[in-house]
Amino acid sequence: MVPRFFSLTPVASSLRIARPLLGSASSISFLRPSAALSLPPSSLVVRKMSTFKQEPHKLLVIPGPIEVSDDVLYANAYPPLAHTSPEFIPIFGDCIRMIRDVVYTTTGQPFLIAGSGTLGWDQVASNLIEPGENALLLNSGYFGDSFTECLRAYGANVDEIRASFGKAVTQAELEQALKKKAYKLVCFTHVDTSTAVLSDAQMVGETVRRISPNSLVVLDGVCSVASEEIQMDAWAIDVVLTASQKGLGRSSWPQHRCSEPEGPPGSR
């Protein structure tokens, strides 16, 4: 089983998923709330629909952050909870469960981390590749340029396949590159906001798994998670990075990441 990892950053949030690097699924079961756990009624956080309405304001029409619904905005007014309290357990467990649902994974381990969207790049560059190792970046726009810069800042040797403006990297181009050199990471931006290009994530995952099964596939989904289809398990995507303030439809705050318990040989 290929490890998958998903990460979501809260501030300029980024969501990323990669193969799990945490050991067996049983080793992380504590993150799933136990049905037998007895909690006070208040911990269930079952709240009636609010009559709260936002004040009239200038419409926000940029790629992110986006407008949020009245219910989402009202939820932010909930009193703070201690992260060590029994009341926090079902809330955190629900967040993990729902993240898995969004990216269609049953084995990926989600992580909710406070930070900017670009924190996902740093997580990948500092944890999944060592200085001097090779990474392949499928570049379809500005955010591909920035992802490349981040990887190189951590010492990775990065090769790029640069698509023509408004186009995505083709399967033939990817196959040719993978046959020339072994790569620790194959990274791409699922939707690049600067060009509006949607890359074929299914094709990328399946092609890498067929030609270079020891490579980790990293999908930058800041603009695509909850907006475009992502089947992490079925498409052999190891890492998905995203943020909360775009497709997930909430205000800026968390960065999410989800990862599988086991990776390919040498991935640890």
Task: List per-residue pLDDT tens for the chain, 268 residues long.
Answer: 445 555 554 433 333 333 333 333 332 222 333 333 334 444 444 455 568 899 999 998 888 888 988 988 888 888 888 999 999 999 999 999 999 999 999 999 898 888 878 899 999 999 999 999 999 999 999 999 999 999 999 999 999 999 999 999 999 999 999 999 999 999 999 999 999 999 999 999 999 999 999 999 999 999 999 999 999 999 999 999 998 888 888 776 555 566 655 555 545 4
Q: How far apart are the first and last CA of the chain?
A: 14
Domains of the chain in sequence order: 5-30+63-259 (3.40.640.10)
Is this model's pTM higher than 0.75 or not?
A: yes
Report residue 126 as tokens: 């500092």
**Type of residue found at 141:** G
- C-alpha 94/C-alpha 160 separation (Å) is 38
- C-alpha 93/C-alpha 45 separation (Å) is 13
Residue 46: which region, alpha, beta or left (left: phi > 0; alpha: psi -120 to 50)? beta
Hey, which residues does 191 pair with through a beta bridge? 198
Phi first, then psi: give them for residue 254, nearest 5 degrees. Answer: -100, 155
